[in-house]
Structure 1
Amino acid sequence: MKIVAQVKLLPASAHDADALAATLRTCNRAANAASEVAFAKDLKRRNVLQDAVYHQVKADFDLGAQAAVRTISKVCDAYATFKANLKAGNYGPEGSKRRIKAESKPIRFREASAQPYDDRMLTWNLDQRTVSIWTVAGRLKGIPFVCSDEAMKLLASRKGESDLVMRDGMFFLVATIDVPEPPVCEPAGFLGVDLGIVNIATTSDGEIMSGRQVNRYRQRKRDLRTKLQKKRTKSTARVLKRQRRKESRWATQRNHIIAKKLVATAERTSRGIGLEDLTGIRQRVTAKKDQRARLSSWAFAQLGSFVRYKAQRAGVAVVHVDPRNTSRQCSNCWHTHRTNRVTQARFVCKSCGTTLHADHNGSRNIAHRADAAWQRGAVNRPSTA
């Protein structure tokens, strides 16, 4: 499986930082030029596009040979991803204005968009924790970097490309690492996980991971942004800039903690993990005006992706199930009715009288459905041959 390791570059001087920033600007301008040709002449395959624009891009933007090749490859990868998103319906329903608009113009790259580097353009010295990197101002040698101990262990087995990224004036290298994937163990049952907004995750064991702290933090940040935006001064603009991404980083950390806890519980008890397939839920749910911000900031997809890749590294099976009526169905007698869900937190079965926390009842239904799906032959079921 592929995972990424991120390191932060520490340019020794303003010249080095300017050279890295200029490299991103130049490469992305070259990418935009190549993208216009790819769109106008319908040249989306790498070898075909490279034959058409390589010499022009290299000469017009004063790029090195390998930098030009990587830039053209980036353009082709962007069009391939765009095509896959269209096929998956990620740009809205067929014929939507958003899709038509996206298909009617070439892909554009921001001046600070990430730039891929291969081993001819980037050399790592893990012992000294430095890199030698190509820029439009020449090769910069001995640029120090910092990262976590876990990232250093991953970098030891790094192969292939790394991406140069600039965020808030800081430079990062994001390296892709191939790590051995353990076989998926045959689960002795499933840990059902009900995802929500009030409670971020509730397990079939009855453990509730409340979303109160996250929701209050998000509300506080929204109120702060509203207050600052009304003042419209230079000092408030500086504060807003400092606050950028702070909320998302904090919420991401919370999702990492929850995902790690869920996978550790499943691994310790030799179970798999059952999750709801919530694809398209924002289009299906009509939220009240005062709930729209909470629904739009609900990071269920991120939490699900964290659970999947952590489970994959641990050899834990993950099965996605249909979420329909999980909150209305009794996990004891299977009686299903909308009146079973008395309140947001209370479930009372009208047939057998079972009383449970509503999210706990839903997670038990998810566990049952995941187990049934596994017995029928789930996608990631290990081979018994």
Structure 2
Amino acid sequence: MADTEYCRRTAVTGLSVSPTDATRLRELVEEWKRGCQLAVNEAWGVCHTRSEVQQLAYDVLREETDLGSQHAVLATHRAAEAIKRARDGGEKPEFTAPTVAFDTRTMTVFDDRTVSLTTTRERVRCELDVPDDGGYQTEYLDDERWEPAKSALHYRDGEFVFHLGFRTPRPGMDPPTEGATVLGVDLGVENLAVTSTARFFPAGDLQHRREEFERVRASLEATGTRSAQRTLRQAGYRLDQQVGHRLHEVANGIVAETDRYDCDLVAFGELDEVREMLPDAGPYHQWLFERLLSFVEYRAAERDIAVVEVNPEYTSQRCMECGFTHPQNRNLDAGQFECLKCGASANDDYNAAKNIAFRCVRRGPLSSRGLGAAACALQSGVVTPDDGFTPYAELSEAPKSD
């Protein structure tokens, strides 16, 4: 079964680790960081896909580190992901975070709520510190429908924390018919996401936190002490937690719009093309977009809502009112769209989101998957190619931004 056909969840737990096992896990953390860096050094400027990096760097990791065969494979994959995010002018990645990836070959989860983990030497078996009241973790640990999947071990402040991944096949759902209504979503730098129903999700807080972290990192790296390095790792972990929380909020908000406007389909611009069309976007934004799309996908699947990507070309330049397309319709400095032909004006991201939805409608059904849409959802009605705009009979007031 393809990886995209699963819903995924993560249960975060502490680990009860003996002193001997703690030493082995710390050794693994150090070898993992070294292995990832070796893989980056081998592949930087040469290749970036998982298969290519693995083929190029696997033997080097096996010869120069104490990583087992499967952890060497996982380290090359992690290096490939980092290289991909840092392409197009980014700096070569450096692996300093005390985090190790695991999969079902390098870990085993037992019914007694212990986990066996591969190290550079013998395996260790640790108890999962599940809360006394059960906690949300038991929802996945005790339900046979959820199977263990890709996970991560984090070491911070002298403690080990395990992000235990689970997956379950996506619920079977009938694909939308050609009469489906689609919600368009535009991704950007100033607004992380804007829907065709005029719901805005600003990116200002994420950008501010990122800039603060970069300033802190520059200062701590200049200091260079062990204490500074430890503080930097803690700051990076907090940033990851904050970003993840915000992306979950945005994903929930987008899916809530599908409920409110009775949509069967969500359309995004193709991520690779979106990245190229945004002059201020960098690898960090590409990473944000990819994570947000994955969060929306598994939430939408739970509601039998499909998620597709469409070609976003000219969606920022096309007038949704008259169809006139021109680069000067969009004022990048003001964040406004104003049609040179008919004079219609709107927020440029909102205009693009409407065009993404309309692009999904105009391209017709995808016969190979049975997906199709007849109308795109707007704030006050729906638009179809044949009937034009039809206002909603009744709709309660909705939030315009989050």
Q: Please, which of 345, 354, 357 is the counterpart of residue 347 of structure 2?
A: 357
Q: Please, which of 319, 324, 329 is the counterpart of residue 313 of structure 2?
A: 324
Instruction: Tell me the equivalent position of 1:381.
Output: 370
Task: Give the root-mean-square deviation of aligned CA atoms.
Answer: 4.6
Q: Please, which of 197, 211, 219 is the counterpart of residue 205 of structure 1?
A: 197
Q: Which has the larger radius of gyration?
A: 1
Whether 2:12 is the aligned partner of 1:7: answer yes
Cα distance change on mapping 1:227 and 1:369 into 2, 3 Å = same
Instruction: Tell me the TM-score normalised to structure 1 length.
Output: 0.68
Larger helix proportion, structure 1 or 2?
A: 1
Number of residue pairs the alignment of both structures matches: 329
* Structure 1 residues 319-357: Cα deviation after superposition (integer angstroms, max 9, x where no partner): 211111111100011100111113442111111111111
Aligned-partner SS, 1:279: helix
Whether 2:20 is the aligned partner of 1:18: answer no
* Structure 1 residues 260-301: Cα deviation after superposition (integer angstroms, max 9, x where no partner): 1101221343211110002155566655xxxxxx63321112
CA contact (8 A) 1:162 1:174 kept: yes
Cα distance change on mapping 1:79 and 1:17 into 2, 3 Å = closer
Q: Which amino acid counterpart does residue 196 of structure 2 have in structure 1?
A: S
> Hey, what's the Cα distance between the residues in 2 that align with 1:92 and 1:205?
34
Instruction: Tell me the equivalent position of 1:277.
Output: 270
What does residue range 260-299 of structure 1 map to in structure 2 within 5 Å? Answer: 260-271=252-263, 272-279=265-272, 281-282=274-275, 287=280, 295-298=282-285, 299=288
Q: Please, which of 104, 107, 123 is the counterpart of residue 110 of structure 2?
A: 123
Whether 2:304 is the aligned partner of 1:312: answer no
**1:202 positional shift:** 0.9
CA contact (8 A) 2:300 2:307 kept: yes
Instruction: Tell me the equivalent position of 1:195.
Output: 187
Q: Which amino acid counterpart does residue 269 of structure 2 have in structure 1?
A: E
> Hey, what's the Cα distance between the residues in 2 that align with 1:81 and 1:380?
31
Work out the percentage of aligned pairs sharing the same amino acid: 22
CA contact (8 A) 2:151 2:165 kept: yes
Aligned-partner SS, 1:114: strand
- Stretch of structure 1 that moved more, 153-162 or 240-249: 153-162
> Hey, what's the Cα distance between the residues in 2 that align with 1:191 and 1:145?
39
Cα distance change on mapping 1:10 and 1:220 into 2, 3 Å = same
What does residue range 21-36 of structure 1 map to in structure 2 within 5 Å? Answer: 21=26
Gaps in structure 2 of 5+ consecutive residues: 36-61, 89-96, 373-402
Q: Which amino acid counterpart does residue 153 of structure 2 have in structure 1?
A: V
Q: Please, which of 226, 230, 251 is the counterpart of residue 218 of structure 2?
A: 226
**1:184 positional shift:** 4.3
**1:255 positional shift:** 1.1
CA contact (8 A) 1:24 1:114 kept: no
CA contact (8 A) 1:85 1:91 kept: yes
Q: Which amino acid counterpart does residue 110 of structure 2 have in structure 1?
A: T
CA contact (8 A) 2:365 2:371 kept: no
> Hey, what's the Cα distance between the residues in 2 that align with 1:16 and 1:82?
26
Q: Which amino acid counterpart does residue 129 of structure 2 have in structure 1?
A: P
**1:257 positional shift:** 0.8
Cα distance change on mapping 1:321 and 1:345 into 2, 3 Å = same
Cα distance change on mapping 1:145 and 1:164 into 2, 3 Å = farther
* Structure 1 residues 103-126: Cα deviation after superposition (integer angstroms, max 9, x where no partner): xxxxxxx9964344469954123x
Gaps in structure 1 of 5+ consecutive residues: 31-56, 62-67, 94-109, 288-293
> Hey, what's the Cα distance between the residues in 2 that align with 1:371 and 1:196?
22
CA contact (8 A) 1:11 1:144 kept: yes
Q: Which amino acid counterpart does residue 247 of structure 2 have in structure 1?
A: N
